[in-house]
Chains A and B, each alone.
Chain A
Amino acid sequence: MPKKCLIVDDNPETVDIVSFILKKAGYEVLTAFDGEQGLNQAKGSLPDLILLDLMMPVMDGYTMNQHLKEDPATKNIPVIIMTAKGGMEPMFENTKGSPIQGYLVKPFSQKELLKRMDDLLGKA
């Protein structure tokens, strides 16, 4: 049974490329283009992992993450932040009960992404 991954990013090209990479690596992929869509997808599909951009329209990644952790159904889904802005990790470290499991500053390599995901999901 393939692991399910939700990609939430407002850049369609990034979503397109990351989807391609993950599908090739054997993941089932779900996509969303803003925090609100992402939250609905997460609640409806309960993915095994979420790749979350921070700067997005409608609802940003930080707020989406807050909503995820408030819901018992989604609070334990691991989240990897993908962002252009470095140095924001402390914002998430100080959030009690935050499910943030990783932080990738753009640009990052495909290899780095897959390794981080495999480590989290125990695919090795």
Chain B
Amino acid sequence: MGEFIAGLLIGLGVVGIAGGAYLTYLRWKSRTGARVRMLAKQYQAMTDSAGRDIPMELLAQPEFISSRMEFRKIEAIEAELTGEADRVVAQKLLKDFFKMDDPWVKARAAKALYPMDRKSAFAELKVLAQSNSPFVQIPGIWALGELGSESALELLMSLVWSKSPEVQQAVIRCLVQMETKQQIPPEYRPKVKRLLKELRYKTDWIL
């Protein structure tokens, strides 16, 4: 009799633990589902704005369709994880994009990371911008132009005499846009002005 009661109690205990675990699983699943649905909704809402900072002529190319999906994720992280407590999560998620192959995705993630972790973001952009391939350099240059910081400006100016016309054009475009938007720090303005003047007369570019 005693053995029967003990067995019954153990059985009930196992059922209780399993039931509790199942309920916890259902609760987690429901929360995750809601989170996924919310993010999906945000991605949908961001369709028009995703990658808005990337030059339109590049976005129009078919190979950018997959990148745009990643841009949406990055924008969702930027928009959603803004609180102090979320910053660690946001940094981790953004740094994960650095492992991807697409240099545009890396550059976009670095741009988003910059306000939270300047050192890591700039290091990633420096690697991109100083690559041997213009295909990799151009996204890095674009993001440096978006940062508009002194270190970004220094790096851009060091690349302005690149032998690749595409890279040179990208660097000049950044400098001209930074000048137009008055983003150049005052102490750098005369230097940039001189450089642009030199470029006007020494290259075939009209700027």
What residues make up the interface of A, taking CB atoms closer than 8 Å to B?
Answer: 13-14, 17-18, 21, 55, 82, 84-87, 89, 104-111, 113
Contact = CB atoms under 8 A, between A and B. Distances in A.
A17 B201 contact: yes
Interface stretch (B15-23, B69-77, B122-130, B171-179): B171-179
B169 interface: yes
A14 B207 contact: yes
Contacts, number: 53
Per DSSP, chain B at the interface is helix
Per DSSP, chain A at the interface is mixed
B55 A107 contact: no
Interface of B: 55-57, 169, 172-173, 176-177, 179-180, 197, 199-201, 204-207
Contacts of A89: 56
A14 B180 contact: no
A87 B56 contact: yes
Given A17-B200, A86-B55, A86-B56, A108 B176 contact: no
Contact of A106 (B55, B56, B173, B201): B173
Contact of A18 (B176, B177, B206): B206
Q: Which of B179, B200, B201, B207 has the most CB of A within 10 A?
A: B207
A111 B176 contact: no
Given A14-B200, A86-B55, A109 B177 contact: no
A84 B176 CA distance: 6
Contacts of A113: 206
Given A107-B169, A107-B173, A84 B180 contact: yes
